[in-house]
Structure 1
Amino acid sequence: MQEYYLDERDLRLLHALQIRPRAPWAALAPIVGADAVTLARRWGALEEAGLAWVTSYRGPGAKYTGAIIEIACAPASIAPATADLADDEEVLSIDQTAGGRDLVLTLLCRSDADLGRFVLDRLPAVAGITSTRTHRGIRLLADAQQWRLRSLQEREITQLELALPQPSAAQRGVPSEVENEVAAILRDDGRASVAHISQKAGISPVRAKNALSTILAERRLIVRLEVARAYAPWPVSVWYFLRVPVTQVEAVAGRLVGLQEVRFVATTGGLYSILMMVWLRRIEDMTVLERQLGERLPFAEIMDRSIVLRTPKHMGKRLSADGRRIG
């Protein structure tokens, strides 16, 4: 089996792409410390190996209904149930976990009606599932778009943000058919050029550029970098299920967002008040994190936690057993 390794320059490049996923290589060169040709070559190698990729998904500016679903399966049914569910477009991510549930599904549906159909009609048709618990999202406070590798210095981050400001919306709206076409292109390749989008969507380059800028500026589509967790400095992933008094939910959730380990925080209308997912350097760091939560947020009761064993699907992409993107 081929060995893969992310060195410090790789991590600097990936951190820069976390900040500006579609940045030109020439703009990243002075920040990362390598010329544009070298960066393009290295990115190609990382992408080819499935160690990093840029993807996209519907953002808060678009209408959607989010949910987290816990699933218990008969042991022999975990793999086939995973394979079955991975084919569903609504299933954004699947984590196979150790703990009080076998699978944790992240769902992104177009409406509550679609969520209802998935939970009430689709899940019962999956062989081997013994029980489910659905947490309808109320408010998403943080996702991995804000999580960072921490390889760049603050001055370098500021320099990059100033050199490449966020896109601004065009004055004219974007027709739904154009938006859907652009979104489909970016799902395959989040760094697709304006020229490629123009050709693929059958629209002029100017119209493609304006549509892309508007969709991103209005956060109807989120473009972000992903990295294979097992090869990053934070290979351990854990889901936390917290219960908080109703008067403290927003305050506690806001404090959780500030933790460096956090990749997901949402308030939900389910058994638990808050769901949180973190990446850690070592399994032993769970104890450190939980002690910190107990000291800083005494109102937050950790009801359960599950360690992620494998992630066969992540943000719409299939992953290998060791977490690299397939295809």
Structure 2
Amino acid sequence: MQDYDLDGRDLRLLHALQIRPRAPWSALAPIVGADAVTLARRWTALQDQGLAWLASYRGPGAKYVGAIVEVECTPARIAEATEDLARDDEVLSIDQTIGGRDLVVTLLCRTDAELAAFVLDRLSNVAGVTGTRTHRGIRLLADAQLWRLRSLQDDEARQLEFSLPLPVAAPRGISADVEEQLAGLLRSNGRASVAEISEALQISTSRARNALNTLLAEKRMVLRLEMARPYSPWPVAVWYFLRVPATMVESVAGKLVGLQEVRLVATTGGLYSILMLVWLRRVEDMTVLERQLGERLPFAEILDRCIVLRTPKHMGNRLTTDGRRIARAIHSE
């Protein structure tokens, strides 16, 4: 049961970290409305309670193949199948749902061959799985990097963006070895300081700074603020499966990106043209959202939808039954 409510200052802090995940506390202080020491202490408390954290994953600047798999299970073995799948590095997220599938599994593989091996060899041998439908990603138009809590005023968000420019890649780039080590460090501590990176990787501080800036600027690694959804103002998650005429897929998908509720929009090669994940304040808001879609995008046919009951794994991190992050991150290269 939920026993904690994020207060207004918490939500302002988290919105600020959505915009600039690694911003110094001193830079966030005047925007959020608390001193740097208080912000650092509050962030530590939120992390320790599993209510907020920084997730990291391969971005568009790195080579990867994404897919979303609908999984049907024997009812008595859903938990067993979930636990088995959650151990795999290729499995980025798992949602347990009600509707036309028991699990929605998000995969992030290095190559199509790796994806084929997982779907054809690994997934088919998971105990309790009775059926699957795999949707190979074609284009990711939006993920939760763009989604905002809307706790800051628009001018405050713009001020933060203007005062803290995005990192710029170093001219010489970074070696594969340093990149791999740095990516591993950021998975465990997304706000690791340059000094901590330098010490952990046994490189100079200037090299550590250049490596960090390059990795993030080239989007080979993405850092993203995450929070325990059941404790947020948007506790309801819903997957939508849409079919759109081939000539209108890009246009419709682009318009979906602009909806405030949207966390993910992807075009796929499969039964559905577009997959979309939204967060809502109430289950009843599904009706409002679907009416808006019908009015604004009449060519987008909702073939199915499913409500998320639990998310045992999210962006490489294991979660408790009430959506809190378990301290040990299990996703690795």
Q: Give the whole-Å Cα distance in 2 for the aligned partners of 1:9 and 1:125.
A: 47
Aligned pairs for 1:13-32 within 5 A = 13-32=13-32
1:1-327 equivalence runs, <5 A: 3-327=3-327
Q: Aligned partner of 2:32: which letter?
A: V
1:294 aligned counterpart, secondary structure: helix
Q: CA deviation at 1:217?
A: 0.5
Task: Report the residue type matching 1:163 in the other structure.
Answer: S
C-alpha displacement at 1:16, in angstroms? 0.1
Give the C-alpha shift of residue 203 in structure 1. Answer: 1.3
Unmatched tracts of structure 2, length 5 or more: 328-333
Q: Distance in 2 between matches of 1:157 and 1:286?
A: 28
Offset at residue 2 of structure 1 (A): 8.0
CA distance in 2, matches of 1:36, 1:100: 47
Q: CA deviation at 1:159?
A: 0.8
**Alpha-carbon distance, 1:299 to partner:** 0.4
Instruction: Give secondary structure in 1 for the equivalent of 2:224.
Output: strand
What letter corresponds to residue 318 of structure 2 in structure 1? Answer: R
Structure-2 separation of matches of 1:76 and 1:204: 54
What is the CA-CA distance between 1:201 and the residue it aligns to?
A: 1.4
Q: Give the whole-Å Cα distance in 2 for the aligned partners of 1:219 and 1:71.
A: 30
Aligned-pair distance for 1:122? 0.3
Q: Is the 8 A contact 2:2 2:230 kept in 1?
A: no
Secondary structure of 2:325 counterpart: coil
Identity of aligned residues (%): 75
Q: Partner letter of residue 119 of structure 1?
A: V
| Aligned residue type for 2:316 | G
Amino acid at match of 1:325: R
Distance 1:12 1:232 in 2: 12
Q: How many angstroms apart in 1 are the aligned matches of 2:292 and 2:162?
A: 34
Partner Cα distance (2:171, 2:326) in 1 = 39
Which aligned segments of 4 or more residues in structure 1 are displaced greater than 3 angstroms? none
Q: In structure 1, what residue type is equivalent to 2:239?
A: W
Alignment coverage as a number of residue pairs: 327
TM-score normalised by length of structure 1: 0.99
1:27 is paired with a residue whose SS is: helix
TM-score (norm 2): 0.97
- State the shift of 1:262 in Å: 0.1
Give the CA RMSD over aligned residues.
0.8
Distance 1:184 1:299 in 2: 43
Give the CA deviation at 1:3: 2.2
Q: In 2, distance between residues paired with 1:158 and 1:147? A: 15
For residues 205 and 286 of structure 2, the distance between their equivalents in structure 1, rounded to whole angstroms, comes to 49
